Every structure is written in C-alpha cells, then in structure tokens.
A and B are shown apart, each in its own frame.
Chain A
Amino acid sequence: MADLLRTGLYDLHLRLGAKMVPFAGYEMPVQYPMGVLKEHLHTRAEAGLFDVSHMGQVILRAASGRAVDAALALEALVPVDLAGLAEGRQRYAMFTNAEGGILDDLMVANRGDHLFVVVNAACKGADIAHMRAHLDLEVNEITDRALLALQGPAAQTALARLVPEVAAMRFMDVAVLDWGGVALWVSRSGYTGEDGFEISVPAAQAVALAEALLAMPEVAPIGLGARDSLRLEAGLCLYGHDIDTTTTPVEANLTWAIQKARRSGGQREGGFPGAARIMRELAEGAARKRVGLAPEGRAPMREGVEIFASPDSPTPIGVVTSGGFGPSINAALAMAYLPADLPEGTTVYGEVRGKRLAVRITAMPFQPTTYKR
C-alpha cells in the first residue's frame, strides 16, 4: 500500500492482528480478529477503542487571545452558534459552500483562549486551506498528537482508572486532564451513539495510552467496519456519503445543529456561505430530506440502491446513501434522500438485484443513544 500514511498506532494494529485497508489516504484497521459483528456488539455492551488519528486536529486562535473572537470569526463559515458556545463545551458544525452544500462536518470546542476543531481525514487539507483563506485567525494544524475514541457503557469506568476526572464530564464537555504528566485533551463525545470519550494524546504517549486501555477487561480494539455500523445505527452522517457538497444541512435533517442565533430573527442571523438557500429551506422546508429506512426483510440495502414509490413505478424517488446490517438491532438499515412530503411509516421500495423490496421510512436513530447528558 504505497503512498498511504500511517498513524502512530500502526504497529500496534498489526500486533493486535488487524486487517489494514486504505481509508482517506491512511492505512487503517478495518477489523481485528474478533470481527466486525462482535466488535460492534462489544462496543455496545462494554467498551471499544478506536484509532481516529487520521482525523484533522486544528487550533484556531484570534489575535485578542479570546475564544469568543475566534468563534465569531468561524461563524462566517458555518451556520452554527459558536459565540454562544460556553468554555469547556463542544458543538457539532458543518462548513457550507455558496450553494448551501456541505464541505465537511466538524466538531468545535471552546477551550477558553482558543477553539479546538476536529475535521474529517479526507477533507482536512481542504478544510485547513478554507479556514486560512477566509479567517483572520491563526490556523494551527496539530500533527504531533494522536486521537483515540473510547466508546461504550464501560468507557467511563475504564478511562476513569487512568483519569478520574472524566467521571464528572457530561456529553459534549471538553477538558484538558493530566495522565501522569501527560496532557490529554478529552471530550465526552463520539461517533457510535454510545456514551464515551475522544482523547487527543501526544504522539509519543499514544501507544502507551492505547495499551493501558486495552489491558483492561472491558476494552477491545475496534476497526472501521464496526465504526461504520455503529454510527449507522446511531443515525449519524458519514461525510462523502450521507452528506456532501450537493446536500444542504436542511436536506440532511441537521437543522438541530443550526441554533436560533443564526436563524431568521436571531442575533447573528445568516452570514455564512449558502445562507440564502439554507435560510429559505429553514423557513419553507427542503424538497427532499435524509430519512432512515428499515427494510422489511434482512437483505441489506447498500449505498447506491435506488428507491421507488411503488413496486412498478418507472422512476426512482431517491437513492440510499449508506446502508447495511445493524448488529444491535439485528436487522438491515439504511439512510436515503427522499421527497420530504413522505411521512414516517410510508412503505417504499428498494431495488436490490432486480427485485423491489419493501422498506419503511423510519425515525432515527435506529438504536437508542446513551449519551450522558
């Protein structure tokens, strides 16, 4: 796998017996010997450790040295209320383009005198260039830290053995915590629908932290395969699949991420790329919407499966953007963009291998989330 990058945990993945695959320019573990299904179920039952060091970690600083000024500046690129984000808190956001499409989704944390931003691996180069081009801020990519995620009901128990302070954190809290002289940047968040943490750790200590967690009976290493089925059950978007430059946040059913302050009549309404379209869709609704799909049978409906209104209608009304099998719900599941006037509970038809299979429009998440609010 020439020209692929490796994270600092590459050798550990091989020692753990991982099967490595190319992903977003990196050689990443897709599964360990436990296998995707058991890794998924283990994360929901106990705790799973994920290497997400391929993601981009970026610090944004304003000349004033105040996080709120960096937040106000970054608001020019996202339809999200960041000035209202309290110190020690994190929020989901998305970079939009002039047409209202989504350039990437990201997490933004207020760390008092700066913002800490985590972006997708495949987009990080473009995201950083985008921020440097449009923001009068110091944009500092952090390349000397790894990023781990510890997810599942036992995540707090496990991490608290190393860093007791995590027990006091709530969902979307962020904190800098000391682990034997090593500064860990911890957030209580993740991409599985479970309670859990994301931990930025200096590269030199990353393997030691991973090994300390993996030595605990609750913790198993989890690959990208289970990460995908976990996030799908949680109804979370995968950039490049469920959201991209052709989908707006309203179409993507992410309006919950656009706070009142940025909406019509809000204190800082509009003022982000694509605002004209997004504000109109917020007021009037979008013509299509990302929905959950629950196939009646067990046959998975994967990305690209066309959806039809009836068993014999000639023209598709939408297409699956992510789909597969959910081990925890023990059923097939998918997401698709469909006409927004179709209510939940409507039966539509996915064409799989030439057959129209019934599938119900359903609420998401498919699996109840267990965030510690």
Chain B
Amino acid sequence: MKYTEDHEWLRVEGDLVVVGITEHASEALGDVVFVELPEVETMAAAGDEVVVIESVKAASDILAPVDGEIVAVNDALTDNPGLVNEDPLGVAWFFKMKVDDLSVLDGFMDEDAYKELIG
C-alpha cells in the first residue's frame, strides 16, 4: 500500500490502482453523508478533483493521484456514504485507475512514511 500527502491510499490490483482515503482522513472528515463519483472511462490528470465527499461538517475533494483512466467506481458509496467511516481501508474504495506504468507509484509514501506525516 502507498499513501499520498492528501491522505489517500493506493493499492495495486492487477494492472489497476485502487484509490481510497485513510482512517486518519475519514476520522478528520467526520460522518460522510454524500459521495459524488466520477463517470467511468474518464481520463484524469494527477491533481484533478475527481470525487466530492460531503461530511456533516464540510465538503472536500479526492484528487486523482496519478494520470490515468478511471475504469471503475464504487457505486455502493453513493447509496451508503457511511461506509467511508466504517471501513475506509476496505469496502470503501472510491475508484480504480488504469495507468501506463505502475512504477509511478514508487514516488509515494510507504506506511512508515505516512505514519510519520500524520504524527
């Protein structure tokens, strides 16, 4: 598992990158009440705002961590946004991206580095 400075986790599944948010991020957001997912087959550039999350407190975005094509989204979150709080590292993944070269993930933090970031 890799981590971004925006508190997303990245997991490799075959030739895809699965993207979710960390427990730290889910706790900081508070209870999630709305998730807006991108269309599948969307091309995204690193840094694009591809998902909107609304919690009881505020709205925030999830950014595409790398360039690639969004090939799957987790529709379960639309009907049950609370999954983001219940199981952020498991069932509450947000989208899967197809990237040209998985080695692009090498530049992200590993778990130890992420833990250091969040103190």
Contact = CB atoms under 8 A, between A and B. Distances in A.
A221 B41 CA distance: 46
B117 to A, nearest CB: 21
Given A300-B54, A302-B59, A35 B30 contact: yes
Interface stretch (B14-22, B31-39, B96-104, B105-113): B31-39
> For chain B, which range describes its interface: under 10, 10 to 19, 20 to 34, or 35 or more residues?
10 to 19
Contact of B34 (A36, A38, A325): A325
Contact of B57 (A36, A327, A353): A36
Interface string A285-307: 00000000000001110100000
Contact of A332 (B34, B36, B52, B57): B34
A302 B60 CA distance: 13
B118 interface: no
Contacts of B56: 36-37, 225, 229, 324-325, 327
Nearest to A298: B34
A298 B59 CA distance: 13
Interface string A8-43: 000000000000000000000001000111100000
Contacts of A299: 34, 36, 52, 54
A300 B60 CA distance: 12
Nearest to B30: A36
A332 B56 CA distance: 10
Contacts of B33: 37, 298, 300, 325, 327, 332
B36 to A, nearest CB: 7
A300 B52 CA distance: 11
Interface string A303-337: 00000000000000000000011010000100000
A353 B54 contact: no
Interface residues of A, number: 16
Contacts of B30: 31, 35-37, 225
Given A299-B36, A300-B59, A302-B59, A37 B54 contact: no
Contacts of B85: 35
Nearest to B27: A35
Interface in B35-85: 36, 52, 54, 56-59, 81-82, 85
A302 B57 CA distance: 10
B57 A225 contact: yes
A67 to B, nearest CB: 41
B119 to A, nearest CB: 17
B77 to A, nearest CB: 11
A299 B54 CA distance: 7
A302 B58 CA distance: 9
B50 to A, nearest CB: 12
Interface in A332-347: 332
Given A225-B56, A324-B56, A325-B54, A37 B31 contact: yes
Contacts of B82: 37
Nearest to A332: B34
Contacts of A229: 56
A35 B56 CA distance: 10
A225 to B, nearest CB: 6
B31 A35 contact: yes
Nearest to A295: B34
Contacts of A324: 56
Interface in A214-235: 225, 229
A327 to B, nearest CB: 8
A20 to B, nearest CB: 14
Interface string A32-76: 000111100000000000000000000000000000000000000
A36 B57 CA distance: 9
Contacts of A298: 33-34, 81
Nearest to A228: B56
Interface of A: 31, 35-38, 225, 229, 298-300, 302, 324-325, 327, 332, 353
Question: Which 4 A-B pairs have CB atoms at the shortest separation, nearest pair first?
Answer: A37-B31, A325-B33, A36-B56, A298-B34
26 contacts: A31-B30, A36-B56, A37-B33, A37-B56, A37-B82, A38-B31, A225-B30, A225-B56, A225-B57, A299-B34, A299-B36, A300-B34, A300-B54, A302-B58, A302-B59, A325-B33, A325-B34, A325-B54, A325-B56, A327-B31, A327-B33, A327-B56, A332-B33, A332-B34, A353-B52, A353-B59
Given A36-B31, A38-B31, A353-B59, 7 more contacts: A36-B56, A37-B30, A37-B82, A229-B56, A300-B33, A300-B59, A325-B34
